[in-house]
Structure 1
Amino acid sequence: MFIKTKIVTRASSLGLLALTTLAGCSDDAGSDTDSETSDTDSDSDTTDDEVGTTDGDTDSDTEGSDTDTDTDTDTDGTDTTDTTDTTDTGTGACEDVSDYREAVVCAAQAFYDTLEADQQATVLLDWDDAEAKTTWSNLPGVTRNGITLGDLSDESRAAALYIGEVALSAQGYEDYVGTLAADDYLGEQSGGGMGGLTYSSDTSIVAFIGEPSTTDDWMLQLGQHHMAYNITFTSADTTVTPNHVACEPKSEFEVGGESYSPLLDEGETMFALFDALDGTQLEAAYLDGQSFGDVLLGPVEYQSGSYDAVAFPTGTEREGVLVSALDADQQALVQAAMEAWVLDYPAEISDALMAEYTSADAYADTYVAWAGDAEAPDPDVNGCYVRIDGPAVWIELAVQNGVVIQDETHYHTMFRDKTRDYGGSL
């Protein structure tokens, strides 16, 4: 059952970055935000009643490659670019909860308590619903679980964002709110949307698959176009994959006078690794005869309820340069590239993962590889593809031409763990 919490609410009109500032997170872009708040206390009590579940729609399908031309949407493309205003629930609600899982459950409870009964039923799905676990995508306008930010009150919207602040590290939360802002930016640039699709942070979802609990199995989903956080809590472990993040544009942009660049670090660290390889190593790392219009293992299991479609390269299909063959400086760049994704999660999660991914045994079975038409990996060339393929870790980045910002490429990325996706629940 949800644990009991007490929420302190502060009513104000805040943008996404203002929430980042209130949560104690730093902004790489160095933007400043002022806000005026007034405090009121309110007690939120949990209920011992069993909360009803709801099944997500299954009338939408996708191949998992982001062409941003899918027209399966109920939205009308209206301009919703001013969508980042929220109400801060206060960071005091769960800040004294030191255990990661308990803190996430605390934040989930705080959010749940702000919802109406019908909204509570929408956000909470059954743990045994395997199809729901695989209902995430990089595409706009497709079926997702849960409730959207656009359907929430200011208080509930801020409480939803607070879940992200607790579940992610400061670095990860910047990526989260930056990806939300990116869709608002695309909405501004496209007049609300293109081809019947709406670009807006209003379309972002929150869903609980299984009742948030400190002991029982459940899963937190945060998602929208270009975003999928799937954090699974089981009795044995807490896992954070599959995790998809993308961003158009890949460069810094502004929304509401604030600057964002959610995937700038990921791109810079990944390409710095390949820039450090010499000609012989680059040739050995090249995936000859292969081309990539997108990441290889995006939402290939979308709405299937199965892990069967997630086929990692095996045996001789695993190509590239072994990290164990790189020098110490190059290995440090491999570690930095991994950290750009793994450190999006708090140390309670990321420390153990990084220790495993960067061990000598792991490096002896970890390949770095790339593909594309350029002489070397290039972030400004459509079709460029880079990846890290270890015994557990799988991180890939694909460069695509822009869909809305057509004079600039953008990134799609995927972080999976071959041994931990979905907490092994599929």
Structure 2
Amino acid sequence: MNPKSRIPRWIAVTTGLLFCSMAFLYTYATYAQGPGGRRGIRVIGQPFVGIVTSQGVPKDLFHIESTGVTTEPARVATETFLDGLTTTQRERTVFPVDDTEWRQWDNRHRSPRQGVGFNEMTEAQRTLAFEMLQQSLSAKGLKKTQDIMKLNGTLGELAKKPQEYNEWLYWITIMGEPSETEPWGWQLDGHHVVINYFVLGDQVVMSPVFMGSEPIEAKQGKFKGTIVMQDEQDKGLNLIQLLNEDQRSEAIIMNRKDGNNNLTEAYKDNVVLDYAGIVGSKLDNSQKEALLQLIQEYVGNLREGHAEVRMSEVKEHLDETYFAWIGGTTDQSVYYYRVHSPVILIEFDHQRRVAPIHTSKPTRDHIHTVVRTPNGNDYGKDVLRQHYHTHPHSHPHTH
């Protein structure tokens, strides 16, 4: 026997127990403290900065102001939803408005999550939850949200894993108490659809928003005929095809797409991301209009009046808006594109297949999109910061 292998038994036992204890603590830290595991805990524990360029944050981008568009329907519907919960459900659904719960969303199919799940709601509670979404989103935004939830059910059918993927594995949390004057908001969190909706007075900040699906169409099963993300896909392709050869050479970062390219999904609140691609000031009028139509496709998930307010903000910075592309430019291509300005960031990505089988190449049947408000106003945080500056009495928690 090798002399080096003669380890005293007490050392071996102690080492084994220590290893098991460390493994248990690792597992506990990973799963007991949020769906993001250690990755999520580490990132959420960092101070919020937002998506910024290496040049830093421009000053005075966002302001507290009256938009003239009422938020009362969303507020009343949220209050009614909360009134429909049991005391226990409400206790685990309502968080302080500045809670880190905002940042714990995860577009993957991880669970459990915070809040109250559609899977545990009664039919009456689900009706109230969808009424809250309806009064906050446009008709198109609500339908898209519900269709993504349905397609998650289709994925469960295809993968034969309904316990991992189904239309009711989505959770709602409410931040703050719905109010006419104080800040509040809600979050929908689940696989392939996440919406963060912040309200202050008649201002709304709806970001980050994650929408996607795998598959993008139900060709069989309970939700046969449901299809999503085609306008986002086609309007991006239309814009790149409108560019001339010189413009494309600026816009296209890489002609080949091999993997997943989205940069600002879950737990990526503080990414440093410089502008890339072609800038809006180099587009002609028809190309600028196509760019606006592309942005409108995403912003239009927000209720109409608030979407108009958001688009007016986008238009102010249109000449500073960059459009970048990775991949092919044909009707059969897979690709990634990014729209990036001081006030909005949009990413679209054809992803590798994950379920029911894994593939090494991206496919048109798995799409991810993200909408962010860069420079510190995701989750309405810059507006909330300004509110606390002028209303310190309404700041019960460390922000």
Structure 2 residue matching 1:207: 3-state secondary structure: strand
| Aligned ranges 1:375-390 → 2 under 5 Å | 376=329, 380-381=333-334, 384-390=335-341
Whether contact under 8 Å (2:175, 2:185) holds in the other structure is: yes
Aligned to 1:415: 371
Whether contact under 8 Å (1:205, 1:224) holds in the other structure is: yes
- Count how many residue pairs are aligned between Structure 1 and Structure 2: 318
Whether contact under 8 Å (1:61, 1:142) holds in the other structure is: no
Q: d(CA) in 2 for partners of 1:264 and 1:57?
A: 38
Structure 2 residue matching 1:134: 3-state secondary structure: helix
Q: If each structure's helix is expressed as a fraction of its own residues, which one has the higher value?
A: 2
Aligned to 2:11: none
Q: d(CA) in 1 for partners of 2:128 and 2:160?
A: 28
Aligned to 2:6: none
| Aligned ranges 1:268-417 → 2 under 5 Å | 268-288=234-254, 293-301=260-268, 307=269, 309-313=270-274, 318-359=275-316, 362-372=317-327, 374=328, 376=329, 380-381=333-334, 384-404=335-355, 409-417=365-373
Structure 2 residue matching 1:200: 3-state secondary structure: coil
Per the normalisation by structure 1, the TM-score is 0.69
Q: d(CA) in 1 for partners of 2:72 and 2:349?
A: 35
Q: d(CA) in 2 for partners of 1:254 and 1:168?
A: 28
Question: Which segments of structure 1 move beyond 6 Å, counting only runs of 4 or more?
Answer: none
| Residue among 111, 115, 118 paired with 2:88 | 118
Shift of 1:120: 1.3
1:157-186 deviations in Å (ceiling 9; x for gaps): 111111111110011011110111110110
Unpaired runs of 5+ residues, structure 1, are: 1-55, 65-97, 302-306
1:359-411 deviations in Å (ceiling 9; x for gaps): 3xx12211111123x4x376643xx2101111211111011122226575321
Structure 1 residue matching 2:119: 3-state secondary structure: helix
Q: d(CA) in 1 for partners of 2:372 and 2:113?
A: 20
1:234-272 deviations in Å (ceiling 9; x for gaps): 258320011111111234646535532221111111111
Whether contact under 8 Å (2:89, 2:116) holds in the other structure is: yes
Shift of 1:423: 0.7
**Cα distance change of structure 1 residues 396 and 377 upon mapping to structure 2, 3 Å threshold:** farther
Aligned to 1:32: none
**Cα distance change of structure 1 residues 257 and 144 upon mapping to structure 2, 3 Å threshold:** closer
Whether contact under 8 Å (2:251, 2:277) holds in the other structure is: yes
Whether contact under 8 Å (2:36, 2:106) holds in the other structure is: no
Unpaired runs of 5+ residues, structure 2, are: 1-30, 41-67, 358-362, 385-398
1:31-88 deviations in Å (ceiling 9; x for gaps): xxxxxxxxxxxxxxxxxxxxxxxxx962442668xxxxxxxxxxxxxxxxxxxxxxxx
**Cα distance change of structure 1 residues 59 and 223 upon mapping to structure 2, 3 Å threshold:** closer
Structure 1 residue matching 2:135: 3-state secondary structure: helix
Structure 1 residue matching 2:174: 3-state secondary structure: strand
Shift of 1:228: 0.8
Aligned to 2:36: 61
Per the normalisation by structure 2, the TM-score is 0.73
**Cα distance change of structure 1 residues 327 and 253 upon mapping to structure 2, 3 Å threshold:** farther
Verify: 1:231 aligned to 2:186, yes or no: no
Structure 2 residue matching 1:108: 3-state secondary structure: helix
**Cα distance change of structure 1 residues 336 and 254 upon mapping to structure 2, 3 Å threshold:** farther
1:139-167 deviations in Å (ceiling 9; x for gaps): 10245321110111111111111111111
Whether contact under 8 Å (1:232, 1:238) holds in the other structure is: yes
Aligned to 1:187: 156
Structure 2 residue matching 1:287: 3-state secondary structure: strand
Q: d(CA) in 2 for partners of 1:240 and 1:405?
A: 32
Report the aligned-residue RMSD.
2.6
Aligned to 2:104: 135
Structure 1 residue matching 2:128: 3-state secondary structure: helix
Q: d(CA) in 2 for partners of 1:248 and 1:319?
A: 28
**Cα distance change of structure 1 residues 391 and 408 upon mapping to structure 2, 3 Å threshold:** closer
Whether contact under 8 Å (1:397, 1:414) holds in the other structure is: yes
Q: d(CA) in 1 for partners of 2:345 and 2:305?
A: 20
% identity of equivalent residues: 23
Whether contact under 8 Å (1:232, 1:239) holds in the other structure is: yes
1:184-226 deviations in Å (ceiling 9; x for gaps): 1101111125xxx600122111110111222211121012101
Aligned to 1:81: none
Whether contact under 8 Å (2:254, 2:325) holds in the other structure is: no
Whether contact under 8 Å (2:151, 2:218) holds in the other structure is: no
1:293-318 deviations in Å (ceiling 9; x for gaps): 131111134xxxxx5x23232xxxx2
Structure 2 residue matching 1:260: 3-state secondary structure: coil
Q: d(CA) in 1 for partners of 2:332 and 2:324?
A: 15
Structure 1 residue matching 2:265: 3-state secondary structure: coil
Verify: 1:109 aligned to 2:66, yes or no: no
Higher relative contact order, chain-length normalized (CA < 8 Å, sep 6+): 2
Larger radius of gyration: 2
Q: Which amino acid aligns with 2:75?
A: V
Aligned to 1:205: 171
